[in-house]
Amino acid sequence: MTDLYGAIDLGGTKLRAVVADLEGNIRGEVIQPSEAGEGPEPVIARMIETLEAAAVEASVSVSDIRAVGVASPGALDLVHGLVQEAPQLPGWDRVPLVEIMSKRLGIPALLENDANAAALGENRFGAGRGTRFLVYLTISTGVGGGIIIDRKVYHGVSGAAGELGHMVVWFNGPRCLCGERGCLEAIASGTGLSWRAKELVDAGHAPDLAAILREKDELDADEIADAARAGDKDAQRLFDEAGLYLGVALANYVNIFNPEMIVLGGGVLTGAGDLFFDHAGRIMRQLARKEPLKYVRLERTALGDRSGPLGMIAALGDMVEGDKGSLKRPEM
């Protein structure tokens, strides 16, 4: 049997499957639309097809792969391998994904939160290679996070740790999708920026953004960023506030976790990081306590969209090493 492993990053818009060795060397990689609106069964079938295609690219078959890991959004039951629910995956209600994947592929399967997987990927193979204590934050449609303590994902007592986007940084601030006010996600995510930009337009501000909204129903973060770069003061203020409150959150992470590194990733950072990354770093350094601040570095992702799949490869490797090849999930 080869020493190759499979990993699938399950998202609301796309699937990414990789076949790699335990050193993080990718031998095959395939990306396909997830078509999540079709519901669990078609998406799972597409996941398997995508992994099979990645195996072909790696010149092996799925039966040659030792195990597969799935990085998924949403609320997960990691002990029983269930996707309990996920806003990005309509119709998923306590889907036994580990059992289904294992039976259909004939190999062991593992499930992990997508942001936790990305954190582990950056820790083992990316910007945080060689570190023991790391915090990862993805700023995309939403804001997610993962915490690495002594090179392992910190899950908390029920597996729900790492919801870093729901740290409240602005008392009575903008409403978040979770129902609370002032979450970092409501201010710095793509969704939060879009909502807040529309509020500005409705109030008669942000003329460049108003012109875009006359042609379409919603704004995305890239359009808001383009307006800010073109001199729209209201669009600039949105990113100034995103950087400010991201910096507040980062300072809190420094004070709470005392990490060696904080890694930022995600689509909003990739497309608009020039407008708020440095500002967030300055605020972090102003607010964090001096002792933990001495040890932390703030970095951008080195792996990009591959951080999640490679994190799953690392997780599978840990299970092989820790359980002598049994590939059973250790108790949290």
Strand runs labelled E in the chain: 5-10, 14-20, 26-33, 68-72, 75-77, 82-85, 109-113, 133-139, 143-149, 152-153, 261-265, 297-300
Q: What is the model's pLDDT at position 322?
A: 67
Distance CA 246, CA 315 (A): 29
Per-residue pLDDT of the chain (332 residues; tens, 9 = 90+): 469 999 999 998 899 999 999 999 999 999 999 999 999 999 999 999 999 999 999 999 999 999 999 999 999 999 999 999 988 899 999 999 999 999 999 999 999 999 999 999 999 999 999 999 999 999 998 999 999 999 999 999 988 899 999 999 999 999 998 899 999 999 999 999 999 999 999 999 998 899 999 988 889 999 999 999 999 999 999 999 999 999 999 999 999 999 999 999 999 999 999 999 999 999 999 999 999 999 999 999 999 999 999 999 999 999 887 654 444 444 44
Assess whether 194 and 276 both reside in one domain.
Answer: yes
Q: What is the model's pLDDT at position 87?
A: 85
Domain that holds residue 231: 127-302
Assess whether 277 and 146 both reside in one domain.
Answer: yes
**Which tokens go with 14?**
């796309």
Residue 315 inside a domain? The answer is no
Assess whether 67 and 215 both reside in one domain.
Answer: no
H helix and E strand count, the chain: 12, 12
Assess whether 100 and 191 both reside in one domain.
Answer: no
Assess whether 131 and 234 both reside in one domain.
Answer: yes
Assess whether 240 and 177 both reside in one domain.
Answer: yes
Domain count, the chain: 2
The reported pTM is 0.92
DSSP string, 6-72: EEEEE-SSEEEEEEE-TT--EEEEEEEE--GGG-HHHHHHHHHHHHHHHHHHTTS-GGG---EEEEE
Residue 322 inside a domain? The answer is no
Residue 120 inside a domain? The answer is no
Assess whether 83 and 187 both reside in one domain.
Answer: no
